[in-house]
């Protein structure tokens, strides 16, 4: 059984939690289920380690981040096997999360250096703006991209000089726990702590009085609860929450050219990404062609366990989400027309066929809500202004995209979207050097880029009076 990393030592804990294989629906492993005492111990270790880590040089902290990235690379096949086992995803996707995303974000933040800013200097004074670490950061990680999101939170927090307590999702703890075991020898004790456990452990962590900041990725409903828990002590919070991303296909677009990209950015990780396409708005003149083309692509793909070398898409990760997706599809059958997919076969595991729905619009659950599964509604529009208004009408505003052959027109439409990120002829193009903000009920704060360091730092002005001649 994999162990938790607490204060530089590996600990089994006093109780366990089953890990379910999404390809079979059966438990195949157990992990520690952190108690409140485990959480208290991890926070105490992070608090004790903070002063030395805060006072270490940026280069020393960068060396630790580089060592963490190296540990992933040196053990990537083992980590990929674990990631496949707990998510069911194909190997290529597991390797992408580990080798490209997790390693890339660790190395990017290892490369950054922030210097004090000189604001004013004259004969009477010198005023500098400094940024200082906060203390202990609680990082609450979701199940859909467990290692990447853990690293995406640890990297800027550690680079900024904070210490971290990570709480994994209860359904996907294995790979992140194993990462903790691998980095135990390269990270100073207490600087990184990794816990596995259920919602009780997470709730105790975010409300802990010695936690200075909480960074959370997950549902909007849980994000609200985290804000409430942080309010009494005014903890700083970064929330990256639900996204019902809209994509708009403009008149004159070349369907044959853009359809493969739209398909890929809609069904990536079987749709289990907050910032993939969830609503596709297509102009009247292209609507039928787009539906037919997407159906043909989806019909040619293989949904299977990630251990199948031919698998292109895996299962929904857990039973609760599987049942939600099933419900969305059944309702969509009544509201619209299934173009491809839609029939969930009885059998082991949480497999959902790639499903495209047409003849739906706002007012239908499949459009208004985020299914977070391999389901794409294709929505007809006649006027571009109307499409923009409908895309912006959602309470979510994480990402959006515009697709077309006229780049000037596409840029003009993109400028009118309200989402935190807007892409043109692509979607969910994540890059560690590019900020990834969230708007409306998709959260607040920012991850990625130099801007992604700032939420982990407190501002301090140093205002020095200069001696004056007598």
Locate 349 and state its tokens. 């595991």
Neighbouring residues of 421: CB distance < 8 A, sequence distance ≥ 6: 275, 398, 399, 400, 436, 437
**CB of 134 within 8 A of CB of 236?**
yes
Catalytic residue among 274, 291, 428, 447: 274
Beta bridge partners of 194: 5, 166
What's the count of helices (H) and strands (E) in the chain, helices before strands? 15, 24
Distance of alpha carbon 94 from alpha carbon 100, whole angstroms:
10
Please tell me the total number of residues recorded for the chain in this structure: 470
Catalytic residue among 240, 370, 428, 447: 240
Distance of alpha carbon 147 from alpha carbon 152, whole angstroms:
8
When computed from its CA atoms, the radius of gyration of the chain, rounded to whole angstroms, is: 23
Residue 428 annotated to the active site: no
Residue 274 annotated to the active site: yes
What per-residue string of b and e applies to 267-295 under the rule 16 or more CB within 10 Å gives b? bbbbbbbbbbbbbbbbbeebbeebbebbb
Nearest to 246 by CA among 413, 382, 360, 394: 394
Question: How would you class 365 by CB atoms within 10 Å of its CB: exposed for 0-12, middle for 13-18, buried for 19 or more?
Answer: middle
Distance, CA of 393 to chain centre: 23
Neighbouring residues of 93: CB distance < 8 A, sequence distance ≥ 6: 269, 306, 314
Contacts 24+ apart (CB under 8 A), 336-340: 336/360, 336/364, 336/366, 336/377, 339/291, 339/292, 339/294, 339/295, 339/378, 340/294, 340/295, 340/298, 340/299
Distance of alpha carbon 432 from alpha carbon 148, whole angstroms:
11
Nearest to 25 by CA among 353, 344, 317, 352: 317
With residues binned 3-state (H G I as helix, E B as strand, rest as coil), the percentages for the chain, rounded to 5, are 40, 25, 35
CA 249, 254, 257, 260 torsion-angle sign: positive
How many CB atoms are closer than 10 A to CB 343?
A: 10
- Catalytically annotated residues: 240, 274
């Amino acid at each position: 059984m994999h162990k938790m990393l607490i204060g530089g030592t590996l600990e089994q804990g006093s109780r366990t939690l089953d890990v379910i294989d999404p390809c079979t629906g059966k438990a195949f492993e157990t992990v520690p289920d952190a108690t409140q005492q485990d959480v208290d111990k991890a926070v105490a270790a992070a608090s004790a380690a903070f002063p030395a880590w805060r006072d270490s040089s940026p280069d020393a902290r960068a060396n630790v981040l580089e060592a963490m990235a190296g540990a992933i690379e040196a053990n990537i096949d083992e980590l990929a096997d674990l990631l496949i086992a707990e998510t069911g995803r194909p190997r290529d996707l597991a390797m992408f999360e580990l080798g490209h995303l997790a390693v890339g974000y660790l190395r990017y933040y290892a490369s950054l250096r922030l210097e004090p800013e000189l604001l004013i200097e004259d004969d009477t004074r010198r005023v500098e703006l400094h940024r200082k670490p906060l203390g202990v950061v609680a990082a609450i990680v979701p199940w859909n991209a467990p290692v990447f999101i853990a690293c995406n939170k640890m990297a800027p927090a550690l680079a900024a000089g904070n210490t971290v307590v990570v709480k994994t999702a209860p359904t996907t703890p294995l790979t992140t726990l194993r990462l903790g075991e691998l980095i135990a020898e390269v990270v100073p004790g207490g600087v990184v702590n990794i816990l596995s456990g259920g919602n009780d452990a997470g709730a105790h962590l975010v409300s802990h009085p010695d936690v200075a900041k909480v960074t959370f990725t997950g549902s909007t409903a849980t994000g609200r609860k985290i804000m409430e828990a942080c309010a009494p002590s005014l903890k700083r919070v970064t929330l990256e929450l639900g996204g019902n991303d809209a994509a708009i296909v403009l008149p004159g677009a070349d369907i044959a050219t853009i359809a493969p990209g739209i398909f890929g950015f809609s069904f990536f990780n079987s749709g289990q990404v907050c910032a993939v396409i969830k609503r596709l708005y297509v102009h009247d003149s292209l609507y039928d062609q787009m539906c037919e083309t997407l159906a043909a692509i989806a019909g040619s793909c293989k949904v299977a366990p990630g251990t199948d070398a031919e698998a292109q898409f895996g299962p929904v990760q857990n039973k609760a989400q599987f049942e939600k997706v099933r419900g969305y599809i059944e309702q969509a059958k009544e509201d619209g027309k299934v173009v491809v997919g839609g029939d969930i076969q009885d059998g082991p595991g949480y497999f959902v066929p790639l499903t495209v729905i047409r003849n739906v619009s706002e007012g239908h659950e499949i459009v208004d809500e985020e299914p977070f599964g391999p389901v794409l509604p294709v929505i007809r529009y006649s006027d571009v202004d109307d499409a923009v208004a409908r895309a912006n009408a959602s309470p979510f505003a994480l990402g959006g995209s515009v697709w077309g052959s006229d780049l000037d027109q596409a840029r003009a439409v993109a400028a009118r979207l309200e989402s935190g990120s807007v892409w043109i002829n692509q979607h969910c193009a994540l890059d560690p050097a590019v900020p990834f903000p969230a708007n409306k009920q998709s959260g607040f704060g920012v991850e990625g880029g130099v801007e992604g360091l700032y939420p982990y730092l407190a501002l301090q002005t140093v205002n020095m009076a200069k001696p004056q001649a007598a």
